[in-house]
Structure 1
Amino acid sequence: MEMNSAKRVEIIIEAPMESRLTDAIERAGVTGYTILPVLGGSGRSGRWSREGQVSRAGGMVAITCIIRPERLDELLESAFEVVERHIGVVSVTDCQVLRAERF
């Protein structure tokens, strides 16, 4: 099987910002992504957890997408317009995919 190079972008952001971020991602031409709830973690401000929260307002989500390397800059510029003003982490890693035509 032939493997193809791609970029995996993961953005963790406050849950209320989910739709703004996905709108920005879509404006950058990304057609596929996955959204997962973040149950807790630890960061600069210490440990945190969604345990006991009634609403998702205090929670975080992880939005992950896999894209062709040449689309990375446009995606990061669009996403950063949302992320820069909010709590969030953006990571980019190299990955290999089958069926590159899907990305």
Structure 2
Amino acid sequence: MKTHKAKRVAIIIEQVMQSRLTDAMSKAGVTGWSVLPVLGGSGSSGAWSREGQVTRGAGMVQVICVVRPDRIDALLEEAFSVVERHIGIVTIGDCEVLRAERF
């Protein structure tokens, strides 16, 4: 089966920033993404957990998308405009997809 090269971008950000991030992604031409809850972790501020938090602002989410390689620069510029002033981690990896026309 033929596969096509793509980029997988995963961004962990505060939940209250999710709509700003997905709006920026749309502006960059991204047509689809998935949002997953982040249950906890550890970073420069120490360990944390979503358990017991009651406000929407207390949580983190991971927004994942797959894009064609020629769209990665536009996506990163728009995403960084949101992430640069907030807690956030951006990772980029190579991947392959079966239906290139969807990306």
Number of aligned residue pairs: 103
Which residue number in structure 1 is paired with residue 87 of structure 2?
A: 87
**Deviation per CA, 1:51-75, whole angstroms, max 9, x where unpaired?**
0011221110000000000000000
Give the 3-state SS of the residue equivalent to 2:54 in structure 1: coil
TM-score with structure 1 length normalisation? 0.98
Which residue number in structure 2 is paired with residue 9 of structure 1?
A: 9
Comparing 67-76 with 39-48, greater Cα deviation is found at 39-48
Which residue number in structure 1 is paired with residue 60 of structure 2?
A: 60
Q: How far apart in 1 are the matches of 2:97 and 2:43?
A: 31
**Gaps in structure 2 of 5+ consecutive residues:** none
Give the 3-state SS of the residue equivalent to 2:73 in structure 1: helix
Amino acid corresponding to residue 28 of structure 1 in structure 2: A
Identity within the alignment, %: 67
> Shift in Å at residue 46 of structure 1?
1.1
Q: How far apart in 1 are the matches of 2:96 and 2:25?
A: 21
Runs of 4+ in 1 over 4 A off after TM superposition: none
Q: How far apart in 2 are the matches of 1:97 and 1:64?
A: 14
Give the 3-state SS of the residue equivalent to 1:57 in structure 2: helix
**Gaps in structure 1 of 5+ consecutive residues:** none
Give the 3-state SS of the residue equivalent to 2:56 in structure 1: coil
TM-score with structure 2 length normalisation? 0.98
* 1:29-48 mapped onto 2 (5 Å cutoff): 29-48=29-48
